[in-house]
Structure 1
Amino acid sequence: MQTTVTFRHMEPSDALKSYAEEKLERVKKYIDEPIVVQVFLTVEKIRHMAEVTITAKGITIKAAEETNDMYASIDAVSDKIERQLRRFKERIKAHKPAPDARERQVQKSIVEAQSIEEGAQAPVIIKTKSFSMKPMSVEEAVMQMELLHKDFLVYTESSTEKINVVYRRKDGNYGLISPEIA
C-alpha cells in the first residue's frame, strides 16, 4: 500500500503521519493490491480536516471528516472509508463482471469558460486527465458514482460494451443515458 500524507496550513508531524497510515492499513482486507492512498490533513482556525482518497484496481473512494482534533478527524474518516468499502464489497459480490470484458482508456478535458463565449475561435483546454475505465453493470456504476460523490459517471456497460452515462436526478433517483443504434 502506497500512502502519501500532505499537511496543509500546519507543521508536518511524523506522529500524525504514522497514525493515519496505521488507521488506513485496515482497508487492505477489503481491496486487492495495489492500493494508492492520499491523505490530506488541513487545519483552518479551529477546524481540523482529514480527507482521504483511495485508488485501487477498478475503484476510487473519497471521504472527508472535520472535528476539533486531528486524531479524531483521522479516526472518523478511516471509519467512514471502512464502512464505504464494506458496503461496496457486499454489493459487488453479486455483480461479477464478464471475464472477457476489456478496459477502455478515457481522456477527460476541462475547457475554459471564456473560450466558449461568442467570438472565440476555438475552446481552450485547461486540464486533461486520462484514466482506464473497466466495464461494469448499471448497479456497479451507481455504486462507483456514490463512492466518488459525483453527480454523473460515464462508464462502459459490461454486457453491451457501449458507453453509457448514469446520473443523479434532482428528485434523488438515478437516470441512465445509453446509446441507441439507428
Structure 2
Amino acid sequence: MRIVVKGTNLPVTDALREYAEKRVSKVAKYFPNEQNIHVEVVLRIERNQQIAEVTVHVRSLVVRAESRTNDMYASIDACVDRVGAQVRRYKTRLQKRFQEAPREALQAAADAASEPEVEDELPAVVRRKRFQLKPMNVDEALMQMELLGHDFFVFVNAASDQVNVLYRRNDGNVGLLEPEYA
C-alpha cells in the first residue's frame, strides 16, 4: 500500500502524518488480495474548518471522501470511516450483482440534450481536473458514480471503446451519453 499525505496551506507535522497513515492503512483490510493500493490524503484549512480528503485507488475502483470539522484528527477519522462505509457498500453491491440475474442493459440513450440558452455572461471555469479514463462496462461505471456520490461519471465504455457519460436525470433515473464523432 502506498500512502501519500499532503498539506495545502498547512504544514504536515510528523505526528499528523503518522496518524493519517495509521488510520488510512486500515483500508487495506477491505482488499486482502490486492497489493497495488494507492491512497492520497490531502489536509487543508479553509475558513477555520479542518478538512481531510482521502482518495483510494485500487485497480479501476476510486473511492473518495471528504470531512470538515474543527479538529484535523477528527476530520481524518470521519473521512476514513466514510471510505470504509463506501467500500463495504461497494462490496455488498458486487455480491448482490453476481448472486442475482444480470440486469438488463440500460435503456436507450437519454433524450437529446437541448442547447442551453446563451446568456450575456458565461460562467467562469473555476476548477480544472485531469484524470485517467479506464475502460469499464456501464454497470461498473454506474456503481462508481454512486460510490463517488456524483451526478455524472465520464468513462471509456469497454464494449464500444468510446468515451461515454453517465448522468443522473431530474426524474431520478440515469442517462447514458454516447457521442458520435462527425
TM-score w.r.t. structure 2 length? 0.69
Aligned residue number for residue 150 of structure 1 = 150
Q: Equivalent residue for 1:134?
A: 135
Supply the AA of the counterpart residue of 1:23: R
Give the one of 80, 83, 99 matched to 2:82: 80
Equivalent pair of 1:162/1:179 in contact (CA under 8 Å)? no
1:91 aligns with 93
Q: Cα deviations across residues 132-154 of structure 1 (Å, max 9, x unaligned)?
A: 52332x33221201223333223
Structure 1 runs not aligned, ≥5 long: 97-126
Match of 1:11 in 2: 11
C-alpha change, 1:156 and 1:10, in structure 2 (3 Å) is closer
Aligned equivalents of 1:161 and 1:92: distance in 2? 23
In structure 1, C-alpha distance between the alignment counterparts of 2:131 and 2:5, rounded to whole Å: 23
The farther-off stretch of 168-177 and 3-12 is: 168-177
Q: Does 1:168 align with 2:168?
A: yes
Instruction: Return the offset for 1:77.
Output: 0.3
- What's the secondary structure of 1:33's corresponding residue? coil
Q: 1:128 to 1:142 in 2, by over 3 A?
A: closer
Residues 72 and 168 of structure 1, relative CA distance in 2, 3 Å threshold: same
Runs of 4+ off more than 6 Å: none
Distance verdict in 2 for CA 1:128–1:85, change over 3 Å:
closer
- CA 130–148 in structure 1, closer or farther in 2 if over 3 Å, else same: same
Residue identity over aligned pairs, in percent, reads 41
What is the CA–CA distance in structure 2 between the aligned matches of 1:24 and 1:128, rounded to whole Å? 24
The structural deviation recorded for 1:95 is: 4.2
Report the AA paired with residue 2 of structure 1: R
2:2 maps to: 2
The equivalent of 2:125 in structure 1 is none
Equivalent residue, structure 1, for 2:24: 24
Q: Deviations over 1:5-29 (max 9, x none)?
A: 1112222211111111111112112
Q: CA deviation at 1:51?
A: 0.6
Q: From the superposition, tell whether residues 37 and 165 of structure 1 become closer, same or farther in structure 2 (CA, over 3 Å).
A: same
Which of the pair is proportionally richer in strand?
1
The one-letter code sitting in structure 2 at the alignment partner of 1:73 is S
**1:93 aligned counterpart, secondary structure:** helix
Q: State how 1:85-124 maps to structure 2 within 5 Å.
A: 85-95=87-97
Count of matched residue pairs: 148
* Structure 2 CA distance for partners of 1:157 and 1:8, relative to 1, 3 Å: closer
Alignment of 1:40-59 (within 5 A): 40-59=42-61
